């Protein structure tokens, strides 16, 4: 045998040995536990390290390589003991290794971007050449809800919001909160959601600025603010109840999402110039602010990640392997009991 071949064979023998696997797994556990004791945020550093630190990446790849070689070695031995044992054991062990591989691939290669979009906007992550046009935002909100219902956990949604995007070449797609939709090589899902009242800022009859203003005022109780460039005003906005009434002796507010009411405060520095509902027009100094029919905005997370499917496959394999191991032990007994019988 040539020296190079002998070295490679020796290396493979070492990497596929149980001893090396125990040392490398034990080494990882020791490293993690000791760093967790002193650094506290050890997991965050570990995750960052897998993404960026070449030494940690090398050690993790070494662990993966060692794990797969051990898997092959043990599978060969196990084949002699029967196919059922082999299948359940390989499913379980390979599941764990595949999961670890996905974890590594995902952390080392993931790209992501958060994109704020409303109807008519174009969604295009920086790595993608595919343009998706937002054709519809289905807010999924209840037409009206009570604040007591929100506190009781009933929420403000009738169903989860859905974003419809389309592309001239590939057709249209629905994007929800979960699971993410895969379009091309990118996953999309809704990360956040809000209302964007149409606003009209005027001086007398002269409209100075108009458009939709994305605000984070949902669920009711939240408030947000915005400014109009070139003017010294700050507008603080919150949702206002459509009506209030007594229910079992408790005051309850009802919010209408078809025609929402707002409470807007206009600030100039510390001074409040005006306060009221801009649906009726809000006048201050020489200007007025009016809110018209709202639209909804969605914050989409776009993710390019080759590891996601590997992670899912790993989880499925592990679960299946675990189940088949349980079934095997239940129906055929453990190795120990079998060996004892023999």
Partner 1 sequence: MIYEAFVVGFKEGFKVGLVWLVLYAYLNNNGKNHLIRPFYLGITSIAILSLLSISFPSACITKENLGNIIAASFAVLLISSGFALFHASGVRLFGSLSGIWINEKVIQVIIFIGTLLFFFSDSMGTLVFLQDLSLMKEALLGTFVSSASGLIAALVFFLVVFDRLRPLWIGSFFNVPQLLLFLAMVKLLGGGIKGFAELSLIPAVQRGFMKFAHDLIHQMFVLLMIPDHMLLRTTLWNFIGFFFGPKFSSIVSLLILLVLPMMFIRHSFFNPLPAPEAANPAYKRKIVALLMSDRRKKALPIIVFIILIVFAWFSQGGESVTQLYNPKPKPVIADKGIIMIPVKDPTMDLMDGRLHKFSLTEQGEEIRLIIIRKPDNTISVCLDACEICAPEGYGQQGDHVICIFCNTPIPVRTMGEPGGCNPIPLTAATDEQFVKIELDEILRKWQFVKTGKSKEGIK
Contacting positions for partner 1 (CB under 8 A): 18-19, 22-23, 26, 29-30, 33-34, 36-38, 40-44, 47, 103, 106-107, 110, 114, 153-157, 160, 177-180, 187, 189-193, 216-219, 222-225, 301, 303, 305, 307-308, 311-312, 334-336, 339
Q: How far is the CB of 184 from partner 1 (least distance, A)?
A: 16
Per-residue tokens: 63: 């662990």
Per-residue tokens: 338: 């079998």
Query: 231: helix, coil or strand?
Result: coil
Q: In terms of CB distance, is 189 or 283 closer to partner 1?
A: 189
Show Cβ contacts of residue 225 under 8 Å, excluding neighbours closer than 6 positions.
234, 235, 236, 237
Q: How far is the CB of 308 from partner 1 (least distance, A)?
A: 7
Q: In terms of CB distance, is 6 or 81 closer to partner 1?
A: 81
Q: In terms of CB distance, is 44 or 79 closer to partner 1?
A: 44
Q: How far is the CB of 167 from partner 1 (least distance, A)?
A: 21
Q: In terms of CB distance, is 116 or 228 closer to partner 1?
A: 116
Task: Round to whole Å and give the CA distance between 150 and 219.
Answer: 8
Task: Round to whole Å and give the CA distance between 173 and 163.
Answer: 8
Q: In terms of CB distance, is 96 or 303 closer to partner 1?
A: 303
Are 224 and 263 in contact by the 8 Å Cβ rule? The answer is no
Strands, DSSP E only, in 168-304?
171-175, 181-183, 186-203, 206-212, 223-227, 234-240, 243-247, 250-256, 261-268, 271-276, 282-284, 287-304
Q: In terms of CB distance, is 157 or 322 closer to partner 1?
A: 157
Q: Tell me 280's DSSP state.
A: G
Q: How far is the CB of 143 from partner 1 (least distance, A)?
A: 16
Q: How far is the CB of 34 from partner 1 (least distance, A)?
A: 6
Show Cβ contacts of residue 95 under 8 Å, excluding neighbours closer than 6 positions.
314, 315, 316, 317, 318, 319, 320, 321, 322
Q: How far is the CB of 102 from partner 1 (least distance, A)?
A: 8
Q: In terms of CB distance, is 156 or 282 closer to partner 1?
A: 156
Phi-psi region of 51 (alpha: psi -120 to 50; beta: other; left: phi over 0): alpha
Q: What is the Cα gyration radius of the chain?
A: 30
Q: How far is the CB of 128 from partner 1 (least distance, A)?
A: 16
Place of tokens 């971007």: 113
Query: 242: helix, coil or strand?
Result: coil
């Amino acid at each position: 045998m040539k020296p190079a071949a002998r070295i490679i064979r020796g290396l493979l023998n070492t990497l596929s040995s149980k001893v090396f696997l125990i040392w490398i797994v034990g080494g990882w556990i020791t490293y993690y536990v000791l760093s967790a004791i002193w650094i506290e945020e050890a997991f965050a550093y570990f995750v960052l390290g897998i993404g960026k630190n070449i030494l940690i990446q090398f050690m993790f790849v070494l662990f993966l390589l060692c794990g797969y070689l051990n898997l092959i070695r043990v599978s060969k031995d196990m084949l002699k003991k029967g196919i059922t044992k082999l299948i359940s054991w390989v499913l379980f062990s390979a599941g764990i290794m595949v999961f670890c591989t996905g974890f590594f691939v995902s952390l080392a290669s993931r790209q992501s971007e958060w994109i704020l979009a409303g109807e008519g906007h174009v969604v295009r992550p920086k790595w993608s050449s595919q343009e998706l046009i937002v054709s519809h935002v289905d807010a999924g909100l209840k037409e009206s809800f009570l604040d007591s219902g929100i506190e009781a956990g009933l929420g403000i949604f009738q169903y989860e919001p859905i974003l419809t995007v389309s592309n001239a070449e590939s057709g249209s797609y629905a994007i929800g909160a979960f699971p993410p939709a895969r379009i091309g090589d990118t996953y999309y899902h809704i990360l956040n959601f809000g209302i964007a009242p149409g606003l009209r800022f005027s001086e007398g009859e002269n409209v100075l600025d108009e458009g939709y203003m994305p605000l984070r005022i949902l669920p009711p109780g939240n408030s947000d603010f915005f400014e109009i460039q070139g003017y010294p005003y700050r507008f603080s906005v919150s949702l206002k109840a459509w009506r209030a009434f007594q229910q079992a002796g408790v005051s309850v507010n009802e919010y209408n999402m078809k025609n929402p009411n707002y409470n807007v405060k206009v600030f100039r520095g510390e001074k409040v110039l005006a306060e009221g509902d801009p649906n009726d027009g809000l006048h201050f100094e020489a200007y007025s602010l009016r809110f018209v029919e709202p639209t909804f905005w969605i914050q989409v997370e776009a993710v390019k990640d080759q590891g996601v499917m590997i992670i899912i496959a790993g989880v499925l394999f592990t679960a299946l392997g675990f189940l088949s191991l349980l079934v095997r032990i239940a129906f055929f007994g453990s190795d120990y009991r079998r060996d004892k019988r023999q």
